[in-house]
Structure 1
Amino acid sequence: MGSFRFLLSRRWILFGITVVLLTYVAYLLGQWQFHRLDDRRERNAIVERNEGRTVDVGQIMSPGGDVDAEDEWTAVTATGTYDVANTVVVRYRTRDGQPGADIVVPLRLDDGTSVLVDRGWMATENSGDLAGSDPDALPDSPGGEVEIVGYARSDAEGRSTEVTDTQSTRAISSDAIGQALDLDLLGGFVDLAEETPAAADPLVPPPLPELDEGPHFFYGLQWWFFGALAVFGFFYLMYDEVRGGPARRDRLRAEKRARVEAQERQQAEIQARIRAEREASRRG
């Protein structure tokens, strides 16, 4: 067995640092996947807990607030009239690989406030060409008093919620839309499930959440396996180096080559002896 002094060489120090960094990154990525799994399980529990519960929209949504996490995906009802002039197009929404957009229309309630209703999805080749400020180019919403049933959703955040001059956005935020269109909106929005009377040209309703746990558990294990593999590889190569490393491998290759050459010489001697015996028998 050799010594461990080779570990102090620059090559092995850099190798060790690289393995430590790779292992740490793999650990963090695994933890991230398991945190996402916990979030998914928590969301699924909320959806299952709120299943079958239906309340008036004013019970869980209020002006200037947002839908509480415990109330998200609760079925809500509301009655009012669609404010078609303040329609907002949510760009770059795909379904089954097909490009499209969601159409969001404020529903004006009896108390003068409004609630944003995501009425659904429509297919379009270029959602950037659609404009909420041009509702005539969009499917008609039911006129007059409308009763809706849908699911309470919390607002999105970040720059994607910015509303353009043509009344389009990339994510729904009651705060951003309310400021852009000067509307008094309830916090959050509603994913439409049903509306009465129904639209003549209905949109594809927003999808309900899938209650599976996704791939996060196996992705987390996969990252941790990569980290463990990096550590194992380091110690295996270290063990190989201690046992002799390159010198030992060269010696083993030389010994194998010597055995092969010895076998070849032996075969040659046997062939020569056979030929000599055949030559002698012909002469006799």
Structure 2
Amino acid sequence: MVVYRFLLTPRWLGILALTLVASAVMVLLGNWQLDRYHGRTEINERIDAGLRMAPVPLRDVLPAPTGGSGTAGPAPAEDKSWTKVTVTGRYDPANVVLVRGRSVDRKVGFEVVTPLVLADGTAVLVDRGWIPPARGGDATVQPEVPPAPTGEVTVTGRVHLSESGSVDVSRREGKLETRRIGVPRLARELPYPVHGAYLLLDEQTPAADPVFKDVPVGYTNNWQNFGYVVQWWIFAVMTLFGYGWVARREARRLAGVGRERPTDRAAEPASHTAA
């Protein structure tokens, strides 16, 4: 229509270009959040599958480390995380790792990680569970750690990838302490090669001490990402709609349609003629 020829002016072409770029960026942001939604959904599905599945031998999931003492083996593929495995070995009580600053039921305490040494001389780190700090102490006071069973122990647990981030490890009162279970960093403190992921304990023979509480598994909030997908795509549609609405208003103005009517004036008082 002739009335819309103003859209071909440089000003309106620039507005159109900005609108299209903004909408495209919002669509891309929505697609990015959609990818994150699918990725987090896959993690949650692996967690659920790990709970239901029958355990498989450790070697089917974690390759044996091939380096020397103090080294970690290769990390498993991401799709192997949360796989339930079983393995037999002997706990090493001389190298217990206390992971501080961990919360269960809103209480801050420690997760206790103990190397399980296998028949071939390699080891896998086992997170045996959570315990509170020592009575009367704050969250930094070392707890009384129940001793690990002696002799051969059969462990069933789920594969947990090494935690990322800066990992500082120190030894205090005969135990290693850290804030994160970073397998490669912890391996440097141990006198044997260590598998490239750790196990979150589900069952143990002989049975684990009842003082340990299960470490809760954190499901990812995938629906938050899905909400962002919808949000960004709605913004993209609203941006295009807004351009069309402003263009139509301008066209009506140029065509003289819908001009504002003068406001009503209060009736002026009648003038009195002089008698």
Q: What is the TM-score with the length of structure 1 in the denominator?
A: 0.70
Instruction: State the one-letter code of the partner of 1:193.
Output: D
Alpha carbon RMSD of aligned pairs, Å? Answer: 3.6
Give the length in aligned residue pairs.
Answer: 251
- Matched-pair contact (CA < 8 Å) for 1:80–1:107: yes
- Matched-pair contact (CA < 8 Å) for 1:152–1:188: yes
Could you tell me how far apart the structure 2 residues matched to 1:126 and 1:214 are?
36
Q: Which residue of 2 aligns with 1:281?
A: none
3-state DSSP of counterpart to 1:37: helix
Could you tell me how far apart the structure 1 residues matched to 2:213 and 2:26 are?
40
Which residues of structure 1 form unaligned runs of 5+?
131-135, 273-284
Among candidates 160, 165, 173, match of residue 170 of structure 2: 165
3-state DSSP of counterpart to 1:198: coil
3-state DSSP of counterpart to 1:121: strand
Q: Which residue of 1 aligns with 2:156?
A: 149
Matched, 1:140 2:150: no
Q: Which residue of 2 aligns with 1:29?
A: 29
- Matched-pair contact (CA < 8 Å) for 1:19–1:230: yes
Q: Percent identity?
A: 28
3-state DSSP of counterpart to 1:186: coil
Which residues of structure 2 form unaligned runs of 5+?
66-72
Could you tell me how far apart the structure 2 residues matched to 1:186 and 1:205 are?
22
Q: Would the alpha carbon gap of residues 12 and 116 (structure 1) be closer, same or farther in structure 2, given more than 3 Å must change? A: same
Q: Would the alpha carbon gap of residues 23 and 170 (structure 1) be closer, same or farther in structure 2, given more than 3 Å must change? A: farther
Q: Would the alpha carbon gap of residues 37 and 201 (structure 1) be closer, same or farther in structure 2, given more than 3 Å must change? A: same
Q: Which residue of 2 aligns with 1:8?
A: 10
Could you tell me how far apart the structure 1 residues matched to 2:241 and 2:138 are?
51
Instruction: State the one-letter code of the partner of 1:31.
Output: N
Structure having the higher helix fraction is: 1
Instruction: State the one-letter code of the partner of 2:10.
Output: L
Q: Which residue of 2 aligns with 1:87?
A: 96
3-state DSSP of counterpart to 2:74: coil
Instruction: List aligned pairs for 1:173-252, cutoff 5 A.
Output: 173-200=182-209, 202-208=211-217, 210=219, 214-244=223-253, 251-252=259-260
3-state DSSP of counterpart to 1:181: coil
Q: Would the alpha carbon gap of residues 148 and 230 (structure 1) be closer, same or farther in structure 2, given more than 3 Å must change? A: same
Q: Which residue of 2 aligns with 1:275?
A: none
Q: Report how far residue 116 of structure 1 moved.
A: 0.6
Q: Which residue of 1 aligns with 2:114?
A: 105
Instruction: State the one-letter code of the partner of 1:139.
Output: V
Could you tell me how far apart the structure 1 residues matched to 2:191 and 2:19 are?
56
Q: Which residue of 1 aligns with 2:53?
A: 52
Could you tell me how far apart the structure 1 residues matched to 2:250 and 2:80 are?
60
Q: What is the TM-score with the length of structure 2 in the denominator?
A: 0.72
Largest Rg, 1 or 2: 1
Q: Which residue of 2 aligns with 1:133?
A: none
Q: Report how far residue 117 of structure 1 moved.
A: 0.8
- Matched-pair contact (CA < 8 Å) for 2:132–2:143: no
